Structure 1
Amino acid sequence: MRFVLLCLSLTLTATPSWSQEAIGLAAPDEISNSGLLQHILPRFSLKTGVRVVADDNGVMALAPAPPGDPVFARDETVYHLRINASAKEIKFRDWLLSDIGKRTVESFVPAEGGPFSANFEIADVVEDAKIDGDAALGQDLSFTHCGRCHVIGPQNRMNGLGSTPSFAVLRAMPDWSERFQAFFALNPHPAFTQIEGVTEPFPPERPSPIHPVEISLDDLEAILAFVAAISAADLGAPLQLQ
């Protein structure tokens, strides 16, 4: 009897240390109905101890278009993972982009429809729209408003937050333009950003936790013009502090 209890104790202590609260992942119907999430999510959780569950209102989301990190494709559609900055969400993204995550996706055999691929190329998008903003003004605005968290250039390379991508890294992403145009709607920006004529004023009971970023659409166009002109980071090489 003591031997059985000892074995049971060892078995329980050998199980993964599960996170108490699950992270929700929203996905389009074609992904949810395919069975892919039922295949990959338990395997990720077993490997890491972080619980991710399918949830239409999840803080993470898969979408058939940018913004987000391209993680897998099916037929002609590339699906992008949109996350916030929490450590658990970053762990899930990194796992999906790792070799074992890719193998897990590609090992899934759908009952209907084509297979999923985790190895694909994203065609370069030619941007026809011309950015007419004042790049010089955009540079000043970027250092003033964005330099508190992001490295904008050599002038503030020691001031950015370590967990926040530099402008050069963001510029290297295929969907950089969409990210900057919609930045005020992407976490954590809504908590402290006001775009004149676009965003609603902060509720009196929930003011900005820091000095707010207050800019106009013309200012945003100027920032886009500045970012369009800067050199993109080489994401094929090992990332260095910038």
Structure 2
Amino acid sequence: MRATLSSIIFALAVLAGAAATADDRTVRLAAPDVLVENGFLKYLLPRFSLKTQVRVEVLPPGSKADAALGAEGHPLFEGEGMVWSLNVLNADHPGTARFVDWITSDIGMRTVTGFEVDGKAIYARATAKKQVVQSITFEGDAALGKVLSVTHCGRCHVSVDDQPMIGIGSTPSFFVLRALADWDYRFQAFFALNPHPSFTQIVDVTEPFPEDRPSPIVPIELTLDEFDAILAYVSALVPADLGAPLQLQ
């Protein structure tokens, strides 16, 4: 019986789909010889495969791979004189995503640290390095900035801790804004962020209000020196404690 063109195409599509599925369940991992020779990968990878049904093919460093263990990437564990990191080279690969999720999980790290040679653990979790947080400061008269903040910004925002009842309850206080990661951008660009453009002018920076659209309230008018003073005041504020991020289940 002669195969029809449609049946051939269908067969090829099935084979291609099977190949894609098989490839999704095979992760190509580049790793140095030391992790192979000491038995670590032989110990680690079958446990991952047993848990996930994803196979790992170990390749030499520099090979075309989905991920690599070495000195670059996300630090995982340390031992034998170095910190071993995972460098994800193909983040779109489903099997690689499974491997990353597993090895960075508590179970995966317990498996890593459970590897022993002659009854002695070889690897430990990588020690988290403390990040140096660079404080952002602005030159300006902070004392003047406090006065200006109360006079102009206090219409809507609580801007000083000794006058908590001023402002509008629906607007965030300066202390809450100061706790945000991008607080410096928010304050430096406040005059361009809604609703401020409709009633705020910075001398030599913003355009005058259009004649047919005047400010709906008494406008805020600041010189650049006054603007710098407010930034200096805000940079010295103690950020509000917003608590830990919400964890969604």
| TM-score bucket (shorter structure) | 0.3 to 0.5
TM-score with structure 1 setting the length: 0.46
TM-score w.r.t. length of structure 2: 0.44
- Who wins on radius of gyration, i.e. which is larger? 2
